[in-house]
Amino acid sequence: MKWYQYETESLARKLAVNIREGLSENQAEERLSKFGPNVLEEGSATNWLILFFRQFQDFMVLVLLAATLISGLLGEYVDAIAIMAIVFINGVLGFIQEQKAEKSLSKLKELSAPQASVLRNGEWRKVPSSELVVGDVVKISSGDRVSADLRLVDVKSLEMEESSLTGESLPVAKNAQELVDENVEIGDQLNMAFSGTLVTRGSGVGVVVGTGMDTAMGQIASMLVSTERVQTPLERKLAELGKILIITALLLTAFVVVLGVVQGHPLYNMFLAGVSLAVAAIPEGLPAIVTVALSLGVQRMIKKRAIVRKLSAVETLGCASVICSDKTGTMTENQMTVKQAFTLSDRFHVSGEGYDVDGSYYDGEHKVNPMEVPLMRDMLTYGALCNHSTLRQKDNQYYIDGDPTEGALLVAARKAGIAEKDLSSYTVIHEIPFDSDRKRMSMVIEDDQRNRFVITKGAPDVLLPRVKYVRTDNGQTPIKPKDEKKIENALYEMADGALRTIAICMKPLKPTDSLKDFDLEKDLVFVGLTGMIDPPRKEVKQAIRECKEAGIKTVMITGDHAKTARAIALDLNLMTEDGLVLEGNQLSTMSQTELEDIIDDVYVFARVTPEHKLRIVKAFQKQGHVVAMTGDGVNDAPAIKASDIGVAMGRSGTDVAKESSSLILLDDNFATIKSAIHEGRNIYENIRKFIRYLLASNVGEILVMLFAMLLALPLPLVPVQILWVNLVTDGLPAMALGLDKSEGNVMQRAPRNPKEGIFSRGLGFKIISRGFMIGIVTLIAFMLAYQGDPEHLRYGQTVAFTTLVMAQLIHVFDCRSDRSVFARNPFSNLYLVGAVISSVLLLMVVIYYQPLQDVFHTMNLGFRDWIFILALSAIPTVLFGYTKK
Ligand code: ATP
């Protein structure tokens, strides 16, 4: 028998599960260890040995190895072994770096791994999808990506998009009815929900019948190709830059070698020096350091509760110039409390905070009992009936399981004295679920006398056009203009007070009446309005201010009423009194060009549907902005995808929204977007810092050799020394610059232009000027020490080597700021201080440790030498360090 043929009872028996209780934790654990986790097998990971040897694939490294081999054959054992050792250590470091990047990337994947809502021991809980086992009872709802094959046992308007399996892109309506036929195509198995497919509407409960490779998806081999990570724009730019640098370095090196040979240096010596120089000058480690810096930044962002799904987002974040943010839950707490209850006969205020059920109703100053006011009692009852939330209590604190708006209605009912048991005599016959497009939901309810009625609740301006009658204390009458006026006034007053408004309507049904969606939601009877407060999150005001200082505009997008949205926007200082609020229906009648023309003046988009969001993103982009757009629902996905930085909510977001996003906010908080942008800007600046450091060092190294050749001097640096500089002086401090803290002013500048090149804002000049000076002082040091006397060559080389290293180690502090070298406390980056101290210690070992002196062609230096070297090394930084250029 196939799964779709079982009826619920036999299915439960077959899978040994009680569908109302779910599996027990023990059962689930047992099954998990027996059948394995619910994951698709990925292609085998690359062997680490292969990864290790990949480090040595670089063309120049191979040439160097060949050159070393030759020098070994020629009897230069010490040089050969030293160079081999350095190349090997370099390879190991590169390997470790890559492993680290790889690891943090896979950690990221884990963090954004999907979760499933599963019934265990009679309680719904969230578990990682990989822990689902056959027999688990799983709940799915709009926006979820199904994580195992399910046989559905209950559905509510459930529709699924199964194109990944069937190729059919139109959603399929599902049901829980068993099928009789033996051979039913996947697309026709209407009581099944398949792993990897999407819930586009409604909700359902199903029992897991297949996990991991044992699902319909698992059988499609082509889905298993693991996706390769794409390079970020910066990594790509650097790779291109790398090519140019390689060619330049090779040309210069060739020039140095030819010059050297012409001047009578032995060919073999020049060849080895040239190759070493090329290896040192080519920043082959740069892409790896950039990746490490990016992924370390990503880890810092996790601590600030933002998960970056795409590494490239880290770069784009620094360019963001507009943040379009949902209001509810992102700027506000999403903790709703009903403050006002209105019917055409009464208007009560409600006391109490949050979801606490302590609170009373007041008519002006007088405490009232709404249970004694039949119309008010009915409205509160309807609000609690047309509802999916549950009010729960833990450690004496009340909280809501479900939608906060509905939770607020439950609490309001409870404050009036309507408890859950009072509602148990009603049965739900049918439901049209809420979504942000429709801004309303309806339920057909039957009471214990078998009387049927529909309750529709939703945004007042959406429901009022569907209202034909009103209820007052005197019964039901057709709606009159004066009723409309009264409702409207109440509505505006609530909205001006920043309250979110929900209208509650109903309509009695005859048993024969149609249950078609269209028929149900027309000719409604207006019962009342509720106004609920959703306080702004405390940290948002400050975050909006910081964004403003950083040249980033914050735009509020909400499904709420324009007046409510405006009141909150003013409260948050998101705009001033004259800021523009645009409503969804205005937006609908505008052309895209009209929208583009005014969009820079708009701060709030109210009563919008998710479809509008896409137009908003496009209009801002057309105006040259880099847009971050938040979203949580299925329909938000296109806008999230189209934006430059798609932001999804970690808690309330659907799988679809998360999959389309590049950034996930673990706490759904607007302030977290700001922190991520801050971090993004900082990472980019740090990358610029070490590019500056590394390239200036390389320029210095090449130039000192070039000038020496031009002046017909002997080699100021021997190959091992050049390689040592490349390994120690370049490597450690560059890494430390990648970890630098942000300069105080990163959030006080305008966003970076995304088209800006790496060398813009004077970086190119800084690299050349500092590099030039490092080369010059090294050469001067060499000449003064060598003095044209071959006896002094080793001394001169030791002094040149030490000067080069020290000049770079001093220059590294200048790289920390675009301003003067004294703009920052050198001790505020202890990694850097550590890196510099270790480099100096290693330098001492190479200079003073006798066995290494022979390897590195060095000799002891005296106190006066050091004074002389330090004075020279400080020149490039002192000369330029004050200037802003
Ligand atoms: P934001 O865009 O700021 O996050 P939102 O997404 O919460 O706001 P929606 O959830 O789309 O906005 O709600 C739009 C309107 O729909 C609300 O103003 C309210 O009137 C109505 N509404 C919200 N939730 C429900 C619900 N559960 N049942 C009925 N109506 C609702």
Q: What SS3 class is residue 436?
A: coil
User: 441 in ligand 1 pocket by Cβ < 6 Å?
Assistant: yes
Q: Could you count the other beta carbons within 10 Å of the beta carbon of residue 4?
A: 21
The answer to whether residue 643 scores a pLDDT higher than 80 is yes
Site to substitute for ligand 1 among 432, 558, 630, most atoms within 8 A of C-beta: 558
Confidence of residue 266 (pLDDT cuts 50, 70, 90): confident
Whether residue 820 is predicted with pLDDT greater than 80 in this model: the reply is no
Among 50-59, 157-166, 336-345, the minimum mean pLDDT is found in 50-59
The DSSP H or E segment spanning 709 is: helix 670-710
CA dist 691 and 758 (Å) reads 9
Question: Which stretch of 109-123, 211-225, 293-307 has the lowest confidence by average pLDDT?
Answer: 211-225
Of the residues 326, 534, 560, 668, only one is catalytic, namely 326
Residue with the smallest CA separation from ligand 1 atom 7 is 328
- Tell how far the Cα of 436 is from the centroid of ligand 1, in angstroms: 6
Please give the backbone phi and psi of residue 399, each rounded to the nearest 5 degrees, phi first.
Answer: -145, 170
CA distance 873 to 811: 9
Q: What is the pLDDT of residues 181-209, one digit of tens each?
A: 888 888 889 999 998 888 888 889 999 99
pLDDT surpasses 50 at 55: yes
For residue 633, the ligand 1 atom closest to its alpha carbon is 6
Query: In sequence order, which residues have a C-beta less than 8 Å from that of residue 720 and are 6 or more positions away?
Result: 79, 82, 83, 86, 276, 855, 856, 857
Q: Is 601 noted as a catalytic residue in this protein?
A: no
Mutation test residue for ligand 1: of 439, 441, 563, the one with most atoms within 8 Å of CB: 439
Beta carbon of 558 within 6 Å of any ligand 1 atom: yes
Q: Per residue in 346-360, pLDDT tens?
A: 999 999 999 999 999
- Name 69's Cβ contacts closer than 8 Å, sequence gap at least 6: 80
Strand partners, 524: 467
**Rg of the Cα atoms in the chain:** 35
| Res. 741: pLDDT tops 60 | yes
Tokens of 618: 């496009």
Give residue 855's pLDDT. 85
pLDDT for res 434: 87
Q: How far is CA 618 from CA 317, 580, 643, 663, 763, in A?
A: 18, 19, 8, 19, 33
Gap from CA of 638 to ligand 1 centroid (Å): 19
| CA count, 13 A, side-chain hemisphere, 105 | 17
Q: Which long-range contacts (CB under 8 A, 24 or more apart) does 46-50 make?
A: 48/99
For the Cβ of 407 lying below 6 angstroms from any atom of ligand 1, the answer is no
Query: 553-557 and 322-326: which strand pairing?
Result: parallel
Residue 593, amino acid: T
Which tens digits make up the pLDDT trace of 790-799?
A: 899 999 999 9
Supply the DSSP string of 87-151, one letter for each residue: HHHHHHHHHHHHHHHHHHHHHHHHHT--EEEEEETTEEEEEEGGG--TT-EEEEETTPBP-SEEE
Q: How far is CA 447 from the centre of its chain?
A: 48
- The mean pLDDT of 310-337, rounded to a whole number, is 89
Q: What's the pLDDT at 227?
A: 42
Give the pLDDT mean for 538-542: 93
Which segments of 450-498 does DSSP mark as H helices, in order?
A: 460-463, 481-496
CB 352 within 8 A of CB 339: no
Segment of 165-179, 300-314, 657-671 carrying the highest mean pLDDT = 657-671
* pLDDT for residue 238 is more than 80: no
530 Cβ inside 6 Å of ligand 1: no
Distance 836 CA to ligand 1 centre (A): 57
- The residue among 841 and 243 whose pLDDT is bigger is 841
Q: Measured between alpha carbons, how far is residue 645 from residues 649, 677, 715, 771 in Å?
A: 13, 10, 52, 37
Of 95-104, 268-277, 368-377, 566-575, minimum mean pLDDT range: 95-104
Mean pLDDT in residue range 332-344: 94
Residue 816 pLDDT > 70: yes
Query: Ligand 1: does its nearest atom lie under 6 Å from the Cβ of 635?
Result: no
Can you read off the two tokens belonging to residue 785?
A: 């020490």
Q: Please, which pLDDT band fits residue 222 given cuts at 50, 70 and 90?
A: very low
Which atom of ligand 1 has the smallest separation from the CA of 332?
Answer: 3
Number of Cβ within a 10 Å radius of residue 849? 12
* Percentage of the chain lying above the pLDDT 70 cut: 92
**626 CB-contact burial (10 Å; exposed 0-12 / middle 13-18 / buried 19+):** buried
Q: Identify residue 264 by its one-letter amino acid code.
A: G
Task: Read off the pLDDT of each residue in 209-234 and give the average, rounded to a whole number.
Answer: 66
Q: Among 123-127, 213-217, 303-307, where is mean pLDDT lowest?
A: 213-217
Residue listed under structure tokens 């309807």: 382
Confidence at residue 224, expressed as pLDDT on a 0 to 100 scale: 42
Q: Calculate the average pLDDT of the chain.
A: 86
Residue 212 contacts residue 130 (beta carbons within 8 Å): no
Best mean pLDDT range from 105-109, 200-204, 777-781: 777-781
Closest Cα partner for 657 from 681, 676, 674, 635? Answer: 635
Ligand 1 binding pocket includes 439 (Cβ within 6 Å): yes
User: How far is ligand 1, taken at its centre, from the CA of residue 542, in Å?
Assistant: 26
How large is the average pLDDT for residues 583-598? Answer: 94
Q: Measure the N-to-C terminal CA separation of the chain; round to a whole number of Å.
A: 78
Least confident of 359-373, 589-603, 752-766: 752-766
397-407 tens-digit pLDDT: 898 888 899 99
Report how far ligand 1's centroid is from the alpha carbon of 200 (Å).
18
Is the pLDDT confidence value at 225 over 50? no
pTM here? 0.79
